[in-house]
Amino acid sequence: MTAGAADPCVAEILGDPAFARLKGLVIETTGMAFYRDKDEDLARILSARMGCLGLSTCFEYLVQLQNPATPGAEMDELVAELTIGETYFFRHKEQFDALREVILPDVIERNTPFKRLRIWSAGCATGPEPYSIAIMLEREFGRLIEGWNVTILGTDINQKFLNRARDGRYDEWAFRVMPETLRTQCFEPVGRQWQIRPQFKRFVRFQYHNLIANPFPSIIDNIAGFDVIICRNVIIYFSKETVEALVPCFRETLTEGGWLIMGHSEPNQDLFRDFRTVNTPGAVLYRRDDGHSRRNAAARPSPPPPPPMLPASSVLPKLAKLTGTAVPPPPPPLLPPRPSSLGSAKPKPRAKIKAQPLFSPQPDSPPVADGMEEMRRLADSGQWEAATAACDKAITATPLNPVAHFYRAMLFEQAGDLEECEKSLRRAIYLDRRFVLPHYHLGLFLSRRDDPVGARRSFRNVLTLLECAADDQLVVQGDSITAGKMREAVAMHLKLVGEA
Ligand SMILES: C[S@@+](CC[C@H](N)C(=O)[O-])C[C@H]1O[C@@H](n2cnc3c(N)ncnc32)[C@H](O)[C@@H]1O
């Protein structure tokens, strides 16, 4: 990046009265507590960004970051400079050996009856991690998973990295530990770069996800029910408190028996005490084993009252306290928030979801059928068959319920039944045109199906429906997604489908 001639200098930024607020916002948004004691590094990055925009004070830059006319755009630019995307193919061989020898054989055997496999690379940077898994799966397990519904989802907070990941084109340096013969089999040379061959791309999808701000598990975000989660060299930049709040979320996002792979030099195994630890040569793996965590809880000597395990959305106020920034109280939810099952041995009964879409204020909106909360819990933990049965039951009981049809669409998507997924989304919209989420998901669905015109129409419908909503208003059924965040996501997707 080239900074403009009039960049405010680092010393000016460090002495600016709004610097602390700016720093707090950065850490709050990204979780990167790493910058807590790196004021000069941060000031250098801010100086360059502010120079590009011709701004001279931190206050002006804060205003720009929150400019409602270009939601999230400058934050994306800043995040692109703040995040560190060091990555390469088959990084840390011992963990890939463990995938090949232990993890994939286990999940393939257990999932054979359903022919479904879901893997999440959280903090995937420019993509070598999910593509390495795809290469291993295709080459070494291809015959076993023929005809399966396989998803390898790469997510990141850095939109620029995600765009490069989607392109799948890499410099020599990304192959530093990959044998040349393997590279030639899996990549085509393009000038001085290498392009991944289509057969190794077909399972892999990339999606924006901020581990700090977007709560998970969430079937609505497609972050639910994974057989394997790999999150390496990401949480090293987060504070201990943030990591403590994230680990239970990872656990809840795995299927029973699912596997978690963290970076090999990371962290304190005690954080993962609710997992079963499995040691393989040169790697430590964590496995969700609900029987194990119950035994573990029982075996702990007179436990002190555990700190509440916070869902990811609750990480923000904690960080603000640490960074000394004031966080506005969260907006009152328009629906009771989906209670987290984290942190209490006995999950509290969830509040009933009401189908009173915020942007659909008809007093006579149909109530959501009984059993939807249970369906949601089953779906979030990847118990797809049971979740589908619960959803079908709800639809039989209240066939005109838009929320039930919307969830059915999400389940069809997981099952790879795209035709039924689209039908259910359209049915949910037909039943309540002002229900925002089905429009949004129809937009995603159509952009994946290469229908940019339809996708643009759906995304514009979302913007129209959100027109009068304040940024901090919660979107109905959207977990903690606010209208502001949804507008940002839509703006980004509109860009991807080619809206000027
Ligand atoms: C060092 S790279 C790791 C890449 C890959 N996992 C590996 O080990 O090769 C760290 C990645 O974490 C991403 N990241 C940082 N904060 C994040 C957040 N809050 N949510 C999601 N991703 C984040 C960064 O953008 C970056 O791409």
Task: Note whether 252 and 160 are same-domain residues.
Answer: yes
Cβ-based burial of 136 (10 A; exposed 0-12, middle 13-18, buried ≥19): middle
Please report which confidence band the pLDDT of residue 499 belongs to, taking 50, 70 and 90 as the band edges: confident
Check whether 284 has a pLDDT greater than 90: yes
**Cα 127 from Cα 196, distance rounded (Å):** 11
CA of 116 to the centre of ligand 1 (A): 26
Closest residue (by CA) to atom 5 of ligand 1? 124
CA of 41 to the centre of ligand 1 (A): 18
51 lines ligand 1 (CB under 6 A): no
| The pLDDT of residue 109 | 97
125 lines ligand 1 (CB under 6 A): yes
421 lines ligand 1 (CB under 6 A): no
* Cα 483 → chain centroid: 18
Task: Note whether 492 and 372 are same-domain residues.
Answer: yes
Task: Note whether 58 and 137 are same-domain residues.
Answer: no
79 versus 294: the higher-pLDDT residue is: 79
5 versus 22: the higher-pLDDT residue is: 22
DSSP 102: I
**Cα 204 from Cα 219, distance rounded (Å):** 18
Q: Taking Cα atoms as reference points, which of 500, 495, 498, 497 lies closest to residue 73?
A: 495
Over residues 139-149, the mean pLDDT reads: 95
| The pLDDT of residue 302 | 45
95, 234, 239, 250: which to mutate for ligand 1, most atoms within 8 A of CB? 234
DSSP 227: E
Check whether 146 has a pLDDT greater than 60: yes
pTM listed for this prediction = 0.80
Task: Note whether 177 and 151 are same-domain residues.
Answer: yes
**Cα 310 from Cα 318, distance rounded (Å):** 10
Residue with tokens 């990401």: 234
Please state which of the ranges 276-280, 369-373, 384-388, 404-408 shows the lowest mean pLDDT: 369-373
Task: Note whether 358 and 274 are same-domain residues.
Answer: no
Here the tokens at position 128 are 């070598």
Closest atom, ligand 1, to C-alpha of 238: 16
Please report which confidence band the pLDDT of residue 319 belongs to, taking 50, 70 and 90 as the band edges: very low
**Cα 469 from Cα 334, distance rounded (Å):** 12
Closest residue (by CA) to atom 7 of ligand 1? 87
Check whether 310 has a pLDDT greater than 80: no
pLDDT in tens, 207-247: 999 999 888 998 888 899 999 999 999 999 999 999 999 99
Task: Note whether 50 and 177 are same-domain residues.
Answer: no
pLDDT in tens, 182-194: 999 999 999 999 9
Question: What are the start-end ranges of the H helices in 381-497?
Answer: 384-397, 402-415, 418-431, 436-448, 452-465, 483-496
Contact (Cβ atoms closer than 8 angstroms) between residue 99 and residue 134: no
3-class state of residue 187 by DSSP:
strand
157, 208, 250, 315: which to mutate for ligand 1, most atoms within 8 A of CB? 157
76, 83, 119: which to mutate for ligand 1, most atoms within 8 A of CB? 83
Report the run of H or E that residue 53 belongs to, with start and end: helix 39-53
Domain final position from 82, 115, 150: 82
CA of 209 to the centre of ligand 1 (A): 10
Q: Which residues fall within 8 angstroms of residue 218, CB to CB, at 6 or more apart?
A: 224, 380, 479
Task: Give percent of the chain with pLDDT exceeding 70.
Answer: 83
**Cα 489 from Cα 21, distance rounded (Å):** 24
In a domain, 471, yes or no: yes
29 lines ligand 1 (CB under 6 A): no
Cβ-based burial of 71 (10 A; exposed 0-12, middle 13-18, buried ≥19): buried
CA of 81 to the centre of ligand 1 (A): 13
233 lines ligand 1 (CB under 6 A): yes
In a domain, 378, yes or no: yes
| The pLDDT of residue 307 | 32
Here the tokens at position 481 are 């997604």
92 lines ligand 1 (CB under 6 A): no
Q: What average pLDDT does the chain have?
A: 82
Q: Which residues of 314-342 are buried (b: 16+ CB within 10 A; e: fewer)?
A: bbbebbbebbebeeeeeeeebbebbebbb
**Number of domains composing the chain:** 3
In a domain, 472, yes or no: yes
Please state which of the ranges 1-15, 51-65, 274-288, 433-447 shows the lowest mean pLDDT: 1-15
CATH number of the domain to which 486 belongs: 1.25.40.10
CA of 332 to the centre of ligand 1 (A): 31
Closest atom, ligand 1, to C-alpha of 213: 19
Task: Note whether 367 and 444 are same-domain residues.
Answer: yes
368 versus 229: the higher-pLDDT residue is: 229
CA of 233 to the centre of ligand 1 (A): 7
| The pLDDT of residue 253 | 95
Cβ-based burial of 492 (10 A; exposed 0-12, middle 13-18, buried ≥19): middle
| The pLDDT of residue 448 | 82
Task: Note whether 245 and 387 are same-domain residues.
Answer: no
Q: Taking Cα atoms as reference points, which of 465, 404, 401 lies closest to residue 436?
A: 465
CATH number of the domain to which 120 belongs: 3.40.50.150
CA of 356 to the centre of ligand 1 (A): 37
| The pLDDT of residue 7 | 63
Cα separation values, 64 from 55, 78, 153, 263, 371, Å: 9, 11, 32, 35, 44
What is the Cα Rg of the chain in Å? 23
**Cα 100 from Cα 80, distance rounded (Å):** 33
Extract long-range pairs of 326-335: CB within 8 Å, 24+ residues apart.
327/28, 330/472, 331/470, 331/472, 331/473, 331/474, 331/482, 333/474, 334/358, 334/473, 334/474, 334/476, 335/474, 335/476, 335/477
Q: Taking Cα atoms as reference points, which of 411, 381, 161 lies closest to residue 252?
A: 381
158 lines ligand 1 (CB under 6 A): yes
Closest residue (by CA) to atom 16 of ligand 1? 30
In a domain, 51, yes or no: yes
**Cα 151 from Cα 229, distance rounded (Å):** 12
Assign residue 478 a region (left: φ > 0; alpha: ψ between -120 and 50; beta: otherwise).
alpha
Closest residue (by CA) to atom 3 of ligand 1? 233
123 lines ligand 1 (CB under 6 A): yes
**Cα 225 from Cα 253, distance rounded (Å):** 5
CA of 235 to the centre of ligand 1 (A): 8
Task: Note whether 133 and 236 are same-domain residues.
Answer: yes
Q: Cα–Cα–Cα angle for 190, 150, 189, nearest 5°?
A: 10
In a domain, 320, yes or no: no
Check whether 87 has a pLDDT greater than 80: yes
86 lines ligand 1 (CB under 6 A): yes
161 lines ligand 1 (CB under 6 A): yes
Check whether 349 has a pLDDT greater than 70: no
**Cα 12 from Cα 56, distance rounded (Å):** 9
Domain final position from 82, 111, 143: 82
Contact (Cβ atoms closer than 8 angstroms) between residue 151 and residue 118: yes
In a domain, 322, yes or no: no
In a domain, 275, yes or no: yes
In a domain, 327, yes or no: no
Q: Which residue segment(s) compose the domain that 138 sits in?
A: 93-295
Over residues 358-376, the mean pLDDT reads: 58
Q: Taking Cα atoms as reference points, which of 449, 444, 403 lies closest to residue 427?
A: 403
Cα separation values, 426 from 326, 375, 408, Å: 42, 21, 11
Residues constituting the chain: 500
Check whether 441 has a pLDDT greater than 70: yes
Task: Note whether 398 and 464 are same-domain residues.
Answer: yes
Please report which confidence band the pLDDT of residue 369 belongs to, taking 50, 70 and 90 as the band edges: low
| The pLDDT of residue 256 | 93
Closest atom, ligand 1, to C-alpha of 31: 19
Task: Note whether 261 and 155 are same-domain residues.
Answer: yes
438 lines ligand 1 (CB under 6 A): no
DSSP 33: G
Residue with tokens 């607020």: 21
Of 164-173, 283-292, 363-372, give the range with the top mean pLDDT: 164-173
- Strands of the 276-280 sheet, one edge to the other: 204-208, 149-156, 116-122, 226-231, 254-262, 283-287, 276-280
Over residues 319-328, the mean pLDDT reads: 32
Closest atom, ligand 1, to C-alpha of 87: 9
Task: Note whether 390 and 429 are same-domain residues.
Answer: yes
Here the tokens at position 463 are 């913007």
Closest atom, ligand 1, to C-alpha of 29: 19
